[in-house]
Amino acid sequence: MGTMRCGVRRADRIVVNKSRREMLLLSGDSVLRSYRIALGPNPAGHKVHEGDGRTPEGRYVIDWRNPRSRYHLSLHICYPNEADIERARAAGVAPGGDIMIHGQKDGHGGEGDWTQGCIAIANAEMDEVWALVSDGTPIEIYP
């Protein structure tokens, strides 16, 4: 179950459904929050290489945060993992990296999918996610 902080349950897991453009913060089996998300310009499929405009799919972890992000605030997703690196190596490409959950640049994100493969939400929502998600929180990203 998620830990409590000042009476607020914190998320112990994040689930992203790319096709639904939805991100859920969970504590145990309870949905704490649900957000509409923007992705990269080519959201279908797993990220294969740097610059492909895709968001990775699979199980990762939030491993650090950037309070001075160009996109309001950002939480880093620990992509690429060993399997991603090996897949890219076999294909002869760089796997890319720097995949984040973040807000909007200067409060503007545009309509539709506009990131380079990150997961974007409104700035006010990012403030909430920032407060509810700790480093080390698992994230599952589904097609």
Q: How confident is the model at residue 112 (pLDDT cuts 50, 70, 90)?
A: confident
Report d(CA 143, CA 136) in Å as an integer.
22
DSSP strands (E only) in the chain: 4-5, 8-9, 13-17, 22-27, 30-36, 58-66, 74-77, 100-102, 119-120, 138-142
> Measured between alpha carbons, how far is 59 from 54 in angstroms, rounded to an integer?
15
With a cut of 60, say whether residue 4 has pLDDT above it.
Answer: no
Domain extent at residue 114: 4-142
- Give the domain CATH number at 22: 2.40.440.10
> 52 pLDDT exceeds 90?
yes
pLDDT band at 6 (very low <50, low <70, confident <90, very high): low
Across the range 51-69, mean pLDDT stands at: 95
Q: What is the pTM of this model?
A: 0.90
* Rounded-to-integer distance, Cα 79 and Cα 32, Å: 25
Residue 2 pLDDT exceeds 70: no
Spatial distance between the Cα atoms of 119 and 113, rounded to a whole number of angstroms: 9
Look at the chain and report how many structural domains it folds into.
1
User: Does 111 have pLDDT greater than 80?
Assistant: no
